[in-house]
A and B are shown apart, each in its own frame.
Chain A
């Protein structure tokens, strides 16, 4: 059997039954940001599901016909929330990505863009490398090199996507402030819960300040916080790019690290990672040795907002001035189904004016590394989002995922509104209101 036939077979056995659940009612169409921005059925969930079905039936070619429509999907999974019959779109998407990846002739496999390959294979899985990058960026920002680069606009000339991203990077903390893995941080006051903290790869290296504040908030509400050693990247980006085997390997390493910690709850502060942790049960469902533990792991996984809300109220010490709006992380909203906790937490901050924006449930088009791979499409969707955000007159937009947070920063830059508005992680604003820094 040649490679293509094998890919068809695999897709048929992995995803065909799921695609058959779709009754083509189209209820997903209004929920899909790429259908809205591109206006063709192949950019809709119904269209993509049907194309996967056609590919599994061998009617269309993986590379020629299927790969582009699938590649252009943000993976926000808002369609799953809209679907009246519960088609598991996320699973179909990942099966399709894997099939497309595996059906590429060997000589074309390098087609995987350079950024993607560098990041997925050589960077995200290695905490040390990520930390080194974090430190490098710290140096880059501190030495004034970043100012030089920004004023010269050189990155924008190389790639607008990279240029935007560089400007959206948060100020990085010195590595001396980073809390090391292997540490146990006691609760302040009575210990109510033992939580193991999932530090993530990008969060840990680029946004270690948010991680540090997360841990401080947790201890403030009565959590003993464990940072299990040997934890690593959640594997979400790998799953989303069809690198299932690598995602599975990363998942196993995390499961080992966290099950050893024996905590009541596994907490994370990034919507995308959280969704990935929640789906370890599914990712390893066919692996008899791991399936049970993976399910147990997934059951324990919670978003930071759930724990802070459950153990709250937080001991606020400062009043917040100005209007705040909240941009849902798709994976927190649509996969983890956490919608109310971040909002209730924000509304509980003294003095805050909370305003909901139109289309809050719409993806910001960060989509993992979608904004790097499909810059123009991503910016079209982001610009629509910014229109809605401006309507709220908010001075702060709050997110719960590093990708969304940076994307919103890019949006603010594009609007030329850096003096009037900023994008913050939920943890940052809560910590500020609690007098932490």
Chain B
């Protein structure tokens, strides 16, 4: 980076919030995906005005700007793939206002999502999006990646809750979109365009999010299936019965085995799938609904069904699901976590396709995920130092994306496109579809300053490259 650019930046940001030393730059070179790119400078802004000034300078000096929350992204969202500067947004955390009367929260982007959950609950309210990283992740990162988690089935994703934003545009202006009203049809819906834009269209500096009444109670049960296909039918019959669970999670046999060998907890090794189903709502209603769901599972061939009777039993059921990630990382140091999503009816077919991919390439491929909304997480566990295997992984990942699209699904349910999936965008959206998106990007960000290298593939990039 030119001396002049650095000098200009140092006029806006004091030295104790601007890092040029190698150690600190390496500390912002990664996220929870497995890419690694060294930024030239790391800046910790404190407010929208500073960000606006920095972005204006970036446009003058043509420096890429990469906003970053807590760096929990699984798709490479905040990675500084073209160098330039990382904007660490974690110091913008001064505002977390719960407006009970209007059922809203007004938040700074660096606020940890779990703190919003906590504050909302204290007011008897509920902010449903609950990515598994919610104790760490910032709401700003969640918004830009449109995160969700297990509750997406009943409550939808982050974008369903964001109604207003303050944003620094890619050219450095500060704008407001939406507002405090739940209904708002004035002009284009820029709020929805920015949410999920993966930081390519703006840097969120404040958000207004909707809250809903907190469900009064919840109940949970687990069902084991000897045949995967039966679990698929159980899912569809529950969803068509008029009951909408708040979570419907699936673990395949490879997951079950991994968890059992990591921390033996009596999971059925012969089962091809485990479903965990949670229902929330009025205590009397869920009492009836949980029994009906359990009966549906039995009718579809579940070999074992257990409704949790105490909070402790509920925790035990969930602990199997929560152990999946630690368990599978025991199989190797590199974890490629995908989130290909298919229409619910296609879950059994997608599982079958994934099975075939696993056998074809002989990879450690396990599947778990939010089956209720078709959002599966095929995870390939490998070691990036093993080049031969990584080449196979590249092919397998391509096939996973193809399978999801062929079955009428999408490349990403909740992790975002980031760096890994950009070559496949055309496969899902077509050339014209991608071009429409590119035109929006070019109009908003004429100098391609904001988070370049994400969503859209580089020229000639047609498939994923994990090792070079």
**Are B326 and A51 touching (Cβ within 8 A)?**
no
Contacts A40-B27, A65-B23 given; does A26 touch B329 at CB 8 Å: no
**Are B88 and A41 touching (Cβ within 8 A)?**
yes
**Are B136 and A25 touching (Cβ within 8 A)?**
yes
**Are A23 and B329 touching (Cβ within 8 A)?**
yes
Q: Within the assembled complex, what's the spacing in Å between the Cα atoms of A50 and B28?
A: 10
Q: Which of A34-80 contact B (CB under 8 A)?
A: 39-42, 44, 46-47, 50-51, 54, 59-61, 64-66, 68-69
Chain B residue contacts of A66, Cβ below 8 A:
23
Any A CB within 8 A of the CB of B421: no
Q: Within the assembled complex, what's the spacing in Å between the Cα atoms of A86 and B328?
A: 12
**Are A21 and B28 touching (Cβ within 8 A)?**
no
**Are A59 and B26 touching (Cβ within 8 A)?**
yes
**Are A24 and B28 touching (Cβ within 8 A)?**
no
Any B CB within 8 A of the CB of A313: no
Q: Within the assembled complex, what's the spacing in Å between the Cα atoms of A64 and B326?
A: 34
**Are A26 and B26 touching (Cβ within 8 A)?**
no
Contacts A47-B27, A85-B326 given; does A25 touch B32 at CB 8 Å: yes
Q: Within the assembled complex, what's the spacing in Å between the Cα atoms of A50 and B325?
A: 20
Q: How large is the interface on A (under 10, 10 to 19, 20 to 34, 35 or more residues)?
A: 20 to 34
Q: Within the assembled complex, what's the spacing in Å between the Cα atoms of A39 and B330?
A: 30
A31: min CB distance to chain B, Å: 9
**Are B136 and A27 touching (Cβ within 8 A)?**
yes
Q: Within the assembled complex, what's the spacing in Å between the Cα atoms of A41 and B325?
A: 23
Q: Within the assembled complex, what's the spacing in Å between the Cα atoms of A161 and B71?
A: 36
Q: Within the assembled complex, what's the spacing in Å between the Cα atoms of A40 and B28?
A: 9
Any B CB within 8 A of the CB of A20: yes
Chain A residue contacts of B90, Cβ below 8 A:
39
**Are A23 and B32 touching (Cβ within 8 A)?**
yes
Chain A residue contacts of B442, Cβ below 8 A:
none
Partner of B30, one of A24, A84, A86: A24
B23: min CB distance to chain A, Å: 4
B34: min CB distance to chain A, Å: 8
Contact with B along A81-92 (1 / 0, CB 8 A): 000111000000
Any B CB within 8 A of the CB of A359: no
**Are B23 and A21 touching (Cβ within 8 A)?**
no
Chain A residue contacts of B26, Cβ below 8 A:
50-51, 54, 59-60, 65
Q: Within the assembled complex, what's the spacing in Å between the Cα atoms of A30 and B136?
A: 6
**Are A41 and B28 touching (Cβ within 8 A)?**
yes
Which residue of A is nearest B86, CB measured? A41
Contacts A25-B32, A84-B325, A85-B329 given; does A30 touch B27 at CB 8 Å: no
Chain A residue contacts of B23, Cβ below 8 A:
42, 51, 60, 65-66, 68-69
Any A CB within 8 A of the CB of B399: no
Any B CB within 8 A of the CB of A199: no
Chain A residue contacts of B325, Cβ below 8 A:
25, 84-85
Any B CB within 8 A of the CB of A195: no
Contact with A along B5-39 (1 / 0, CB 8 A): 00000000000000101111011111110000000
Any B CB within 8 A of the CB of A29: yes
Q: Within the assembled complex, what's the spacing in Å between the Cα atoms of A421 and B463?
A: 65
Contact with A along B123-159 (1 / 0, CB 8 A): 0000000000101110000000000000000000000
Contacts A21-B333, A24-B32 given; does A29 touch B70 at CB 8 Å: yes
Contacts A25-B72, A26-B133, A84-B325 given; does A42 touch B333 at CB 8 Å: no
Q: Within the assembled complex, what's the spacing in Å between the Cα atoms of A46 and B90?
A: 15
Which residue of A is nearest B33, CB measured? A24
Which residue of B is nearest A69, CB measured? B23
Chain B residue contacts of A68, Cβ below 8 A:
23
Which residue of B is nearest A65, CB measured? B23
**Are B44 and A65 touching (Cβ within 8 A)?**
no
Residue among B27, B44, B325 facing the most chain A CB atoms (10 A cut-off): B27
Which residue of A is nearest B112, CB measured? A30
Contacts A26-B71, A41-B88, A50-B30 given; does A21 touch B24 at CB 8 Å: no
A88: min CB distance to chain B, Å: 13
**Are A25 and B133 touching (Cβ within 8 A)?**
yes
Chain B residue contacts of A84, Cβ below 8 A:
325-326
Q: Within the assembled complex, what's the spacing in Å between the Cα atoms of A69 and B31?
A: 19
A207: min CB distance to chain B, Å: 37
Partner of B24, one of A23, A24, A42, A85: A42
Partner of A39, one of B22, B72, B91, B329: B91
Chain A residue contacts of B27, Cβ below 8 A:
40-42, 44, 47, 50-51
Any A CB within 8 A of the CB of B335: yes
Q: Which 6 A-B pairs have the closest CB atoms?
A: A41-B27, A65-B23, A47-B27, A20-B333, A85-B329, A42-B27
A selection of 30 A-B contacts at a CB cut-off of 8 Å is A17-B333, A20-B333, A21-B329, A21-B333, A24-B31, A24-B71, A25-B32, A25-B72, A25-B133, A25-B136, A25-B325, A27-B135, A30-B112, A40-B19, A40-B88, A42-B23, A44-B27, A50-B26, A50-B29, A51-B26, A51-B27, A54-B26, A65-B21, A65-B23, A65-B26, A68-B23, A84-B325, A85-B325, A85-B330, A86-B326
Contact surface of A with B, Cβ cutoff 8 Å? 17, 20-21, 23-27, 29-30, 39-42, 44, 46-47, 50-51, 54, 59-61, 64-66, 68-69, 84-86
Not counting A27-B136, A29-B70, a sample of 17 additional A-B residue pairs whose C-beta atoms are within 8 angstroms of each other reads A20-B333, A23-B335, A25-B136, A30-B112, A30-B135, A39-B91, A41-B27, A42-B24, A47-B27, A50-B27, A51-B23, A60-B22, A60-B23, A60-B26, A65-B22, A68-B23, A84-B325
Contact surface of B with A, Cβ cutoff 8 Å? 19, 21-24, 26-32, 44, 70-72, 88, 90-91, 112, 133, 135-137, 325-326, 329-330, 333, 335
